[in-house]
Amino acid sequence: MNAHVPAGKRRGGHVVRILTIGAHAFTQLARMKVFHFLALFAVLAIASNFLNLPQHEGPESAGAAVLRSIKSWSLGAMTLFSVVIAVAATALLIPKDIEDRTLYTILAKPVPRIDYLAGRLLGVLLLLFVSLLAMDLLMTAVLQARTAIVLGEQRDMAAALGWPHDAVESLLAETRAAGPGWPLQGAVAAVFVRAAVMASIALLISTFSTSTLFTTVVGLLVYFIGHFQADARDFWLQGGEAGEGAAARLASLALALVLPDFQLFNVIDAVIEGSVVPLATLGRLVLAGGYYVVLFTLASWFIFAEKEI
């Protein structure tokens, strides 16, 4: 009997299997030409350079306004692309594996279902990370170049108007603050965390959904509702003082417990306006995001473990 264990073969650990499935999902999505949307982002980032914004302030503020516009367009596009990719890509993977029967061959190997789910999610997160990294590099390059141009124009303007040295330095410092920097990287990290939460929500939906379209639509609906989560929580904490009944309070509580609070990610808007997001705030955001990703992945496992394939 062929009962020997071949050289090099030993039961791989959870991490090895998750990484293998994750790398495979990443390759699958990359070869489906998902990265082509990066070209669209490049066009948007460069186009935002040439926008003529209406002027409500003095000419000295025009440069910083252009830089804010570039950040706003770029981070907006990053949010849109990352959320759509997170939901659509995750919604696609499991139904496709079932339809193609590749799930049979994967789960017929010694692969626990949680490893399969975590691997698929990891693949999407890798895709999001690489996509956001590429977009971040492009945005930073465009901002860097434009900031240098704006600084030059402001120096010329100040010299022509005979501004005192302190005033010139103050203006230049304000412009530099609106340019690329660590707060901007924090905002990109927040975009990634939000997309990761959305991917884990799509993973959960896809474990009981019957189609990719259903998962995508419900996923985007959850994203929309998630922006009202904080309102629901506040309503509950206030104890229904407005006179609503216990049922309404319970519904608000359920909504607040099940759905992540996407208003936490409003720090991105603050960064666009030039604010510096404290590291502690960013840390709390990452922790909250991690909590939701783990929560939804475990919930996915709970359903998928019983799923008959």
Binding site for another protein (CB under 8 A): 1-4, 6-12, 16-17, 20-21, 24, 27-28, 31-32, 100-102, 104-112, 306, 308-309
Q: Which is nearer to another protein, 17 or 146 (CB)?
A: 17
| Cα 9–chain centre separation | 38
Q: Which is nearer to another protein, 12 or 274 (CB)?
A: 12
Q: Which is nearer to another protein, 10 or 165 (CB)?
A: 10
Instruction: Report, in Å, the least distance between residue 99 CB and another protein.
Output: 8
Instruction: Report, in Å, the least distance between residue 207 CB and another protein.
Output: 15
Instruction: Report, in Å, the least distance between residue 17 CB and another protein.
Output: 6
Instruction: Report, in Å, the least distance between residue 82 CB and another protein.
Output: 22
Instruction: Report, in Å, the least distance between residue 219 CB and another protein.
Output: 23
Q: Which is nearer to another protein, 11 or 56 (CB)?
A: 11
Tokens of 132: 């956001």
Q: Which is nearer to another protein, 13 or 290 (CB)?
A: 13
